[in-house]
Amino acid sequence: MSVGIDEISFYTSNYYLDLRTLAEVQQTDPDKYYEGIGQEKMGMAAPDEDVVTMAANAALPLIERVGTDAVSTLMFATETGIDQSKAAGVYVHRLLGMNNNCRVVEMKQACYSATAAIQMACALVARQPEKKVLVIASDVARYDLDSPGEATQGCGAVAMLISANPRLLEIDPEVGNHTEDVMDFWRPNYRATALVDGKYSTKIYLRALKKAWENFREVSSLAFDDFSHFCYHLPFSRMAQKAHQHLAKLNKADLTPEQIEGQIEDTLLYNRIIGNSYTASMYIGLTSLLENCKQNIAGKKIGFFSYGSGCVAEFFSGTVVAGYEKYLHRSEHKAMLDEREEVSYEKYLELYRYPDPRDGSDLTIEKVTTGRFRLAGFNQHKREYVAS
Ligand code: HMG
């Protein structure tokens, strides 16, 4: 029996800022963003959206198909936590009308935790193959205004059903891990935005890639040449390009620069216009590959490098399943991305500064999102979510 990803759906906000607009305000060359970091647009959450509403929007098509009783566990990966105690997934469980016998838990380790959730979900499915596990990764990436990280913000959620005999991707059991206590990016409890040592973080990312790959090679018989494509954690798309060139060089790959780029280019398309979605980003990259690759990649091996600052990294592998193209949500994703609204710099600041009450004050939020679920406000320290 194989175990892996049976279905994937993602969601991002209706609003985006074009990085040309940001460059104009900052009097920077737009090519620094379009070429230098490889990003064009960044998603901005509406005032009545957060990780819960984005997650419910991403997961709704999956639950509508399999029904509310098929899922034994909901694992919610995020680093945009909304509560120190209650798992954000419990709100999603209610919004989607899931069975009370379904357990819910929240996972955290920066951008890596969705991968931990998937590995644990595979183990749960191996124990109880008739059940599915719903893994949701949802984040809003926020840096300080006028900081180097500002252009790498974004938001998004991805929902994946993990099942026996999956229809999209069979995940191999062998993994390579690397964990190291470093301060490259972190967000203390009292801050709404992340602190980051940007250049250092890119060096640590590459070091963790080398270490995780070496560990993977010790446990797996697969070598670099066995993979047709690679999905990387995507803080910005240029990071993945650098990482893949690094990995190709480490393996003395006999490939042209165009062939190396061809192994990742389709994974970058959605990220370039959404921005960093932290835990969700690598899996939105996988969706981008499956939905946009011109060749049929059934039977091909995909390599995955998942990285979460702090840091924990993992290299793992999977095989694309024959017939996968029939089970994608390509047209829904395309429509969602095409229908987004571009915002002015002033509107971007308004969205960025929208009140996020940290003092317990009540707040009613008007309906703005075009999504199916929204945050209606805060009342007596409680977040109030409704279907819109
Ligand atoms: P910066 O320092 O302002 O940018 O911000 P820069 O000056 O290094 O320029 C970036 C690139 O653009 C450079 O290319 C420039 O040469 C080029 P490189 O030397 O790197 O190849 N450039 C241009 N290209 C074309 N035309 C031009 C032009 N001008 C410059 N006119 C930095 C870069 C990454 C530091 C910043 O964006 C940042 O701090 N980002 C946030 C941190 C981050 O994303 N780190 C990535 C690794 S850590 C990670 O992935 C984990 C994370 O997702 C969080 C988590 O795990 O939870 C962040």
Q: Which of 7, 93, 102, 111 is catalytic?
A: 111
Distance of alpha carbon 231 from alpha carbon 242, whole angstroms? 13
Look at the pTM and tell me if it is higher than 0.95.
yes
At 9, give phi and psi (nearest 5°): -140, 140
User: Which ranges in 150-268 belong to alpha helices (H)?
Assistant: 198-219, 237-250, 257-262
* 52 within 8 A of 92, measured Cβ to Cβ: yes
355 confidence band (pLDDT: 50, 70, 90)? confident
145 confidence band (pLDDT: 50, 70, 90)? very high
Structure tokens at 168: 């999209």
What does each C-alpha distance from 65 to 128, 136, 322 come to in angstroms?
Answer: 20, 16, 20
Task: Please compute the mean of the pLDDT values over residues 20-30 and round it to a whole number.
Answer: 97
DSSP 111: B
Task: Please compute the mean of the pLDDT values over residues 356-374 and round it to a whole number.
Answer: 93
Which pLDDT does position 360 carry in this prediction? 87
| Beta-carbon count within 10 A of 326 CB | 6
Which of 34, 113, 202 should be mutated for ligand 1, with most atoms under 8 A from CB?
A: 202
Strand-strand pairing, 227-232 and 373-379: unpaired
Can 111 be counted among the known catalytic residues? Answer: yes
Can 233 be counted among the known catalytic residues? Answer: yes
Task: Please compute the mean of the pLDDT values over residues 194-208 and round it to a whole number.
Answer: 97
How does pLDDT run across 291-320, given as a tens digit for each residue?
Answer: 999 999 999 999 999 999 999 999 999 999
Which of 19, 152, 178 should be mutated for ligand 1, with most atoms under 8 A from CB?
A: 152
121 membership: H or E segment, kind and range: helix 113-127
Does the pLDDT at position 356 exceed 90? Answer: no
Does the pLDDT at position 2 exceed 90? Answer: yes
Closest CA to 312 of 122, 132, 217, 184: 184
Task: Please compute the mean of the pLDDT values over residues 258-282 and round it to a whole number.
Answer: 98
Residue 23's identity, in one-letter code, is A
Residue 388's identity, in one-letter code, is S
How does pLDDT run across 213-223, given as a tens digit for each residue?
Answer: 999 999 999 99
What does each C-alpha distance from 298 to 130, 302, 324 come to in angstroms?
Answer: 24, 10, 7
Mean pLDDT for all residues in the chain:
97
CA of 165 to the centre of ligand 1 (A): 40
Closest-CA residue, ligand 1 atom 30, reads 32
CB of 196 within 6 A of ligand 1: the answer is: yes
Closest CA to 135 of 175, 78, 182: 78
322 confidence band (pLDDT: 50, 70, 90)? very high
* 202 within 8 A of 35, measured Cβ to Cβ: no
Which pLDDT does position 357 carry in this prediction? 82
Q: Residues of the chain with pLDDT > 90: what percent?
A: 98
Peptide bond into 111 cis (omega under 30): no
Calculated CA dihedral for residues 189, 194, 197, 202, nearest 10 degrees: 120
Which pLDDT does position 94 carry in this prediction? 98
